[in-house]
Amino acid sequence: MFRSEDPDEPKIYLLPNLMTAGNLACGFFAVLSIFNGIMLATSSDGYNFEAAQPFYERAILLIFASCIFDLLDGRLARLGGKESPFGAEFDSLADVISFGMAPSLLMAKAVLFPLDEVVNGLGWALACLYVLCGAIRLARFNCLAAMPKKPGADTDFRGIPIPMAAGFITSLTFLIIYLNNNDHDIGAWKYLLAGAMLGLSILMISDVRYPSFKKVGWKTKGSPLVIVIAVIVLVATVKFYWVMPVVLFSAYLLYGLAVRPFLPKRVMEEIGDDPSPAMDDEG
């Protein structure tokens, strides 16, 4: 923790906030890469997607890196018992850039730009709605986290977390770019992504409950079957890197939306989704 003579100075713990700074830095450079791609793509007549593609792909990797940093900051804070109001606010500010601004810019110009031919400004309108709903979701979470915890409170997220929403649309964009490079027709994909953006925007500010998996850690017990499945998923992700990210993010999205409400408590406990009451402590 950094020292300060002012007793009212907020506590700033090094390692968790260093991970958050990494999250923010990746988000910033992702936005910068997307802007470079936009300028290069629009420097000639029409829209030259091929010229901008390397910059968009770099931005996708940076957003994925932000997801990793965001996962680490909360884990380190809980592991060391170093959670603080400063860390929560800093994390939310970084998330607006990395998981709000960067994915919305990426989608608007990498995939959704043809929608402007249907309705002028439609792609940008969807991107703006996504950022707005993401910011509202983060602000609502901070307000709820600051309130006294009631008996029976749980660790569920209200609405899909913005890192998972960003991961889903970014991985879907990555898949679309891969299909385009391999001469697949992606004409209908832009409409799928537009619908996904709209749905995720609504889902972020909804009351649909999503698991946080905060109780999953080094001491979490598993079974041989779970270990085998985890290894299979890891190998499949490496081998089919263009499609597995969207499969994994889709699984989380559908789990909270359509599967989890119907699972018995015993099954949820076995997979690490503990439904028992606890204090919520992360955004």
Gap between the Cα atoms of 178 and 261, Å rounded: 34
pTM of the model: 0.85
User: Angle between the 102-110 and 122-146 helix axes, to the nearest 10 degrees?
Assistant: 160
> What separation, in Å, do the N-terminal and C-terminal C-alpha atoms of the chain show?
21
pLDDT (tens, 9 = 90+) of the chain, 283 residues, equals: 445 556 667 778 888 899 999 999 999 999 999 999 988 887 766 677 788 889 999 999 999 999 999 999 888 877 766 678 888 899 999 999 999 999 999 988 877 777 766 677 888 889 999 999 999 999 998 888 777 776 656 667 889 999 999 999 999 989 988 888 877 766 677 788 888 899 999 999 999 988 877 666 666 666 788 788 889 999 999 999 999 999 999 999 998 888 777 776 766 665 556 555 443 344 4
The letter for the amino acid at 203 is L
User: Is the torsion defined by CA of 272, 278, 282, 283 positive or negative?
Assistant: positive
Minimal CA–CA distance to 173: which of 233, 106, 97, 83?
A: 106
